[in-house]
């Protein structure tokens, strides 16, 4: 059932909850859904609903562009299985190399690409996301792009609405309208070395 039609760029950020054994999220905006806050953040509010007998917690951070954060979305066991798939896939990948000719260094994260159901864990996470967000047809989405950041790495540019580009996906399915980001592991530290 299609419940949303969006005409603007939609960013979905899905974050799994850490198990009770791990550390709890400490960011201030996470607590905003639990405690009252001032009216100066009128675009920000929280929604809870039940889909397929599962409670879905959504934070609406902005309406333009639409930014939604799903919390408590993926069970830790599925995330751990996906991380194991990624580790296995990365065994066969070449190591990153850096220029030795004096050209400037760009510190982008290590990247791995996987098909949606390439491993058991990848399939579990894909099925969970596709089931819990039925308004989006994920069967026509690009493969997983998995980024691993080290201290000092920069986030590479991402262009969701590509003007003048006609790759095969765009020709067949139209332009992109959403980016789904899944945080599989909270950063151990932040900032540059």
Angle at 124 between CA 118 and CA 127, to 5 degrees: 100
pLDDT score of 106: 63
Model pLDDT for residues 128-185, shown as the tens digit of each residue: 999 988 888 888 888 888 877 766 666 655 555 555 556 666 667 666 666 777 777 7
Confidence grade of residue 8 (pLDDT, cut at 50, 70, 90): very low
Which letter does DSSP use for residue 156 in this model? P
Chain segment 13-67, per-residue pLDDT in tens: 333 333 334 334 445 555 656 655 556 666 667 888 888 888 888 888 777 777 8
**Separation in Å, CA 89 to CA 92, 111, 114, 165, 169:** 6, 11, 8, 30, 24
Give dist(CA 25, CA 23) in Å, integer.
7
Q: Beta 110-114 vs 66-71: how paired, if at all?
A: unpaired
Instruction: Reply yes or no on whether the pLDDT at 193 is more than 90.
Output: no
Nearest to 134 by CA among 64, 51, 55: 51
Structure tokens belonging to residue 4: 């949303």
Q: Which pLDDT score, from 0 to 100, does residue 72 have?
A: 80
- For 74-115, give the DSSP string: S-HHHHHHHHHHHHHHHHTSPPP----SSPPP--PPEEEEE-
> pTM, whole model, 2 decimals?
0.63
């Amino acid at each position: 059932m299609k419940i949303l039609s969006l005409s603007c760029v939609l960013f979905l950020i899905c974050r799994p909850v850490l198990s009770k054994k791990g550390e709890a999220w400490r960011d201030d905006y996470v607590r905003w859904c639990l405690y009252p806050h001032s009216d100066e953040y009128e675009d920000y509010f929280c929604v809870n609903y039940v889909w397929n007998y599962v409670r879905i917690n959504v934070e609406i951070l902005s309406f333009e562009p639409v930014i939604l954060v799903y919390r408590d979305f993926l069970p830790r066991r599925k995330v751990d299985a996906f991380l194991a798939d990624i580790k296995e896939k990365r065994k066969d990948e070449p190591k990153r190399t850096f220029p030795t000719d004096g050209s400037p260094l760009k510190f982008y994260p290590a990247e791995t690409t996987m098909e949606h159901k390439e491993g058991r864990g990848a399939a579990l996470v894909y099925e969970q996301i596709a089931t819990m967000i039925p308004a989006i047809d994920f069967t026509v989405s690009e493969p997983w792009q998995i980024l691993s950041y080290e201290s000092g790495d920069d986030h590479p540019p991402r262009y969701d609405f590509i003007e003048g580009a006609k790759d095969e996906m765009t020709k067949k399915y139209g332009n992109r309208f959403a980016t789904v980001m899944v945080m599989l592991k909270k950063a151990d530290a932040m900032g540059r070395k």
